[in-house]
Amino acid sequence: MKADKAFMWNAVIVNEHESAISVSISTDADSVIGKWNLDVDTKILNGAAYCYSWETSIFLLFNPWCRKDRVYLTSEEWRNEAVLNETGIIWRGTFNRLKPVIWKYDQFDDNILECSLYVLHYIGKIRGSKRSDPVKVTRALAAAVNSADDYGVIEGNWSNEFGGGVSPTKWIGSKEILKKFYKKKKPVKFGQCWVFSGVLTTICRALGLPTRTVTNYSSAHDTQGSLTVDYFINKEGDLLEDLNSDSVWTFHVWNEVWMCRSDVDERYDGWQVIDATPQEQSEDKYQVGPASVGAVKHGDVLKPYDNAFVFAEVNADKVYWLYTGETHPLKLLRKDTQAIGKLICTKAPGAYERLDITQIYKHPEKTQKERYTMLKALQQSRNIFARYYLNEDFNDIHFEFILKDDIKIGEAFSVQLMMTNKSKTMDYKVDVMLRVDNVDYTGSWTDVIQKRSFEVIVKANSLHEVSLEVAYNEYAKKLREQSVFKILCFANVENTNFEYYAEDDFRVRNPDIKFIIPETIIEGKECKINLYIENSLPVPLRKGEFTIEAPGFERPLKIKVKSAVPSGSKALAHFNFVPPRSGVYTLAAKFVCKEMRDCDGYQVIKVQYLSLEMNGNAE
């Protein structure tokens, strides 16, 4: 849909009188799609054709190829990716175990434009001249995609029970969700942040808005607007739920849309954050943005919309307080200025690779610019939380918290605490508590998996290690959808009044689905695709099922694994499909069973053009 040359386009339009008709629109080069006064050729049901001039302005789509449009994007590479690409990657997992997941946007599929216009008009309530304003449109869409305070597209569910709907990890793309919503006119069950983001990307791209999905690892949820994330714990290392309202999500996925911000300042044109995941209300609705990424980086947290909330998501400080009772003062245990926004990434344009965009949101950690920006943001906040530094008078013992990476589900894992006594003369007695908790990716604690206390003497000028081993049978029954654990360490050096607290996220890795494809795949010719997943568990896999999306499939294909899969064996499946056209495409698959969830894989395939020689028609 390039508009840098004349073209004709079929669509459904809605005029300012709220009537909808099917039309065929032709335009000259460099026209602004946001607001046209055009002649419209209209075909009505009896087949007759009429040509007339529309009396009022038509507000329809945005044109990122047109220099006069507020969403004009100079980079052809990014236009191809953020407007035209129908298959993307959304990152999930944890910072130390990234999990790329294929997502089918399918913004040009049949009826997706009609679905998107319905969401904008009837759910988002964007009508008349507002349709030409990308700020108003994207803000409305951020609210309309979730069902928290309207009858939006997706109902969120962060529990571990998904009866009456589909688990968020089972969705492969937006098409099935949007078509189901458009048909039944009620929220689709269920979604979490990456599902909201994937669907919002589809709608925005269908409307011509350059959009990409973005993942922030260690994403702060600042409920009080203080730009800090405050945790209150007791001597046992337990979080005090009554005092804690802030949280840190293992990862959070939102969207960026490219636009001119004539309502703010031209310095803050470019990528803008919008977020459809219901977290906090903004102007009485669960919506975020558009918030200028440039304003976030420079600490201008008062700019519209929701810049302070986004700033905290990527740059808040984590502060840990020891609570010993109402009559005792709080004690600062630790301040972590680097724990939030560890990595911010999106799909690279034109490649199935990760692009690190952390630097467009924040200055490098530990730099003077980063601390200056934080101070600047705090000075603008109406709810400034006093910021303290740890008392580092005692530094004889150095603590190092170690987690072994790359653990596959089914394997045991261990947590180690290394204590180095730098004193040449003094021995120290240290009380240590190591604990492994089951959490969901939003940072909510659920179950204690294992906990162990140690009393050790760390000799002068020596190294001492304590460790906690966790076997598969200890964590298997408590695993949630994302397979994430919170590893905690609490240590007290006796007779020093020094206490150490640390935590980290840890994720066991599910096996990937592997594809076996023919050497040559030709358009219009049936081919057979094999796929499998290896059972890494010490127990058999039961009631397994593959879900596959491939070019030409009207709906996802489901293949059941008929028998149990023993430990170390492979669950196998195959399917036949006929590639509808030549080009580069993506096969995507999910696998679920009683013992494992959230397993996926993808394969990029190249479909060759069917030549006359291949078709056997050469003379």
Strand partners, 514: 532
Q: How many CA atoms lie within 13 A of 618 on its CB side?
A: 7
The one-letter code for the residue type at 15 is N
The one-letter code for the residue type at 500 is Y
In whole angstroms, what is the distance from residue 259 CA to residue 291 CA? 11
**DSSP state letter for 364:** P
Residue 104 C-alpha from the chain's centroid: 14
The one-letter code for the residue type at 358 is T
Cα–Cα distances (Å) from 345 to 92, 95, 236, 264, 470, in that order, read 10, 11, 36, 25, 31
Q: Which residues are annotated as a binding site for Ca(2+)?
A: 315, 317, 365, 370
In whole angstroms, what is the distance from residue 197 CA to residue 201 CA? 6
584, 523 contact by CB (below 8 A): no
Strand partners, 189: 155
Write out the E strands in 367-497: 397-403, 413-421, 428-439, 445-458, 463-470, 484-493
Instruction: Compute the Cα dihedral for 213, 216, 222, 223 and give only its sign.
Output: positive
* Backbone dihedral angles phi then psi of residue 598, each to the nearest 5 degrees: 65, 40
The one-letter code for the residue type at 10 is N
Token readout for 428 is: 């120290």
Q: Are strands 97-104 and 154-156 parallel, antiparallel or unpaired?
A: unpaired
495, 509 contact by CB (below 8 A): no
Residues with Cβ within 8 Å of 453's Cβ and at least 6 positions away in sequence, in order, are 431, 432, 433, 434
Strand partners, 270: 259
In whole angstroms, what is the distance from residue 418 CA to residue 599 CA? 34
User: Which residues have a catalytic role annotated?
Assistant: 193, 252, 275
In whole angstroms, what is the distance from residue 247 CA to residue 259 CA? 31
Residues composing the chain: 619
Nearest CA to 344 out of 333, 332, 336, 355 is that of: 355
